[in-house]
Amino acid sequence: MAAKPSIPKGTRDFSPVEMAKRNYIFNTIRDVYHLYGFQQIETPAMEMLSTLMGKYGEEGDKLLFKIQNSGDYFSGLTDEELLSRNAAKLASKFCEKGLRYDLTVPFARYVVMHRDEITFPFKRYQIQPVWRADRPQKGRYREFYQCDADVVGSDSLLNEVELMQIVDTVFTRFGIRVCIKINNRKILTGIAEIIGEADKIVDITVAIDKLDKIGLDNVNAELKEKGISDEAIAKLQPIILLSGTNEEKLATLKEVLAGSEIGQKGVEESEFILKTLSAFGLKNELELDLTLARGLNYYTGAIFEVKALDVQIGSITGGGRYDNLTGVFGMAGVSGVGISFGADRIFDVLNQLDLYPKEAVNSTQLLFINFGEKEAAFSLNVLAQVRAEGIRAEIFPDSSKMKKQMGYANAKNIPFVALVGENEMNENKVTLKNMETGEQTLVSAEELIQTLKK
């Protein structure tokens, strides 16, 4: 008996219905990116390991899928190297390529390689899969899609403003209510400076981030545990307990961070972004959130995160400003800012809230029932007219029993069925059946098209 086929852990097959839903997500995001002047690029699934290694930290390097060289890759190895059983060292000898871990490093490589062809500022987007040799678990896969948009070669905060407008537009189109959270790495650096604990910025932000879960006393206890002085913790209290409107938060921060030049710069940047966006009247909530500390070692300015309001799930979009995207490839001084939509989490949210439009999921709108050779020939003529008008239609290929053909229509959720028999052909018409109501109408090809277009 043949072994039952399987797929690698952490990967998935997608059914036609699931693909229709996923394409609805990708197409919506793509359409909005185009509205704001972003252009699409694609990079290979494989990159040279020299491009990928050392860009994600030690843990990230371990999660890279490495691809062994073709041919006799053992020929260049000594017996001593083979017997050492050092997997990492051996892999470096016969693996020159790896699957991309994210879209950011390949994008940086792309910018450096194509710098003479690119017009700056460069507004690019990418919707492609990435791979991580992570331990598969619920909601975490080894292969998943990222939907990134970045602007490089411009320091203007108008880029941050437009990216937040993109986020607002995308989720408004999806019908998902979200809160767009904004912070700034410079504010966090300023806070650490002011309380005299500049080297403990990570410990401080990690602890503050838990305020909602563990409460103020436990946050303070954790800060003390990390070696932060009582005096510094006391200075932190007005910041930890910061509440009110975005304007009130900014006013408090201006006072608290008066002695920190970098902190003040962060406040100014945040104020500009928030004020400019408030003038446009976004459809979704916009909140200055000091507990937001994503990508602390990566981002240098504004930080963004988006949370769904009606579903318990992690961040569904994130991003921020970085100062030196291409420096690791020898092209210094290229600042950028970007966002990434979490397509897989958005997929889950839309499913939970049942927000997919019917037309996004139902592919075929009309099925012609096949009663035989003559009837099929007549139907093909009408079918051509229907398709020419952009209506998605098909004919059942075999003149099978009516029950089987109707069962096919029901299984595919096809809303209309066209019946063509002797009477219909004599009148040059078709009988159109609404599969939901059961109502049947004798119509001409033109009337059929008008009905389906409605």
Which range in 56-60, 101-105, 392-396 is most confidently predicted, on average pLDDT?
A: 392-396
Using alpha carbons, list the distances in angstroms from residue 404 to 17, 209, 370, 377, 412.
Answer: 21, 58, 11, 20, 12
Least-confidence region, from 33-37, 66-70, 206-210, 271-275: 206-210
Arithmetic mean of pLDDT, 12-28? 95
Q: Architecture of domain 14-351 in CATH?
A: 2-Layer Sandwich (3.30)
Q: Is 140 annotated as a binding residue?
A: no
Whether residue 75 has pLDDT greater than 90: no
Question: Stretch 205-216: mean pLDDT, rounded?
Answer: 79
Sequence-distant (≥ 6) Cβ neighbours of residue 85 within 8 angstroms:
none
Cβ density class 312-334: b for 16+ within 10 Å, e for less: eeebbbbbbbbbebbeebeeeeb
Q: Cis check for the bond before 121: say yes or no (omega within 30 of 0).
A: yes
101 marked among binding-site residues:
no
Copy the structure tokens of residue 38: 């972003």
Specify the pTM. 0.89
Q: Cβ atoms within 10 A of the Cβ of 427, count? A: 10
9-23, 92-106, 173-187, 434-448 — which is least confidently predicted? 92-106
Phi, psi for 88 (deg, rounded to 5)? -65, -45
To the nearest whole percent, how much of the chain has pLDDT over 70? 94
Residue intervals of the chain classified under CATH 3.40.50.800 are: 361-451
Which is it for the CA torsion 42, 348, 213, 241, positive or negative? positive
Q: What is the band of 198 on the pLDDT scale with cuts at 50, 70, 90? A: confident
Helix and strand totals (H; E) in the chain? 19, 16
Lowest mean pLDDT among 181-185, 199-203, 330-334: 199-203
Q: Is 237 annotated as a binding residue?
A: no
Alpha helices for 148-301 (secondary structure H): 158-174, 185-194, 201-208, 211-225, 230-240, 246-256, 261-280
Residue 199 has a pLDDT of 83
> Under DSSP, is residue 278 helix (H, G, I), strand (E, B) or coil?
helix
Mean pLDDT of 199-224: 83
- Kind of pairing, strands 393-395 and 366-368? parallel
Residue identified by tokens 């053909």 is: 405
Q: Which tokens sit at 76?
A: 């260049």
In this predicted structure, the answer to whether residue 141 has a pLDDT above a threshold of 70 is: yes
Q: Give the model's pLDDT for residue 219.
A: 87
Per DSSP, the residues of 53-105 read TTSSHHHHHHTPPEEEPSS-TTTT--HHHHHHT-HHHHHHHHEEEEE-S-SHH
In the predicted model, is pLDDT for residue 147 greater than 70?
yes
224-283 pLDDT per residue, tens: 888 888 888 888 888 878 889 999 999 999 998 998 999 999 999 999 999 999 998 899
Six token digits for residue 309: 């309001």
Please compute Rg for the chain using Cα positions: 28
What's the CATH architecture for 361-451?
A: 3-Layer(aba) Sandwich (3.40)
Mean pLDDT confidence for 403-423? 96
Residue 163 known to bind ligand: no
Please check if 110 is assigned to a binding site.
Answer: no
In which band, very low, low, confident or very high, does the pLDDT at 81 lie, cut at 50, 70 and 90?
Answer: low
Residue 427 has a pLDDT of 96
The annotation status of 294 as a binding-site residue, yes or no, is: yes
Q: Is 212 labelled as part of a ligand binding site?
A: no
Residue 146 assigned ligand-binding role: yes
Residue 51 CA to residue 110 CA, distance in Å, equals 11
134 is in an annotated binding site: no
**Confidence band of 381 (pLDDT split at 50, 70, 90):** very high
Distances in Å between the alpha carbon of 376 and those of 364, 369, 384, 419? Answer: 18, 8, 12, 10
pLDDT in the model for residue 215 = 84
Question: Looking at beta carbons, which pairs linking 317-320 to residues 24 or more positions away fall under 8 Å?
Answer: 317/167, 317/341, 317/342, 318/294, 318/342, 319/163, 320/185, 320/294, 320/295
Higher pLDDT, 354 or 94: 354
Where does CATH 3.30.930.10 sit in the chain? 14-351
Q: d(Cα 300, Cα 319) in Å, to the nearest integer?
A: 11
Q: How far apart are CA 237 and CA 403, in angstroms?
A: 72
Task: Identify any residues that bridge with 152 across adjacent strands, giving them in sequence order.
Answer: 122, 336
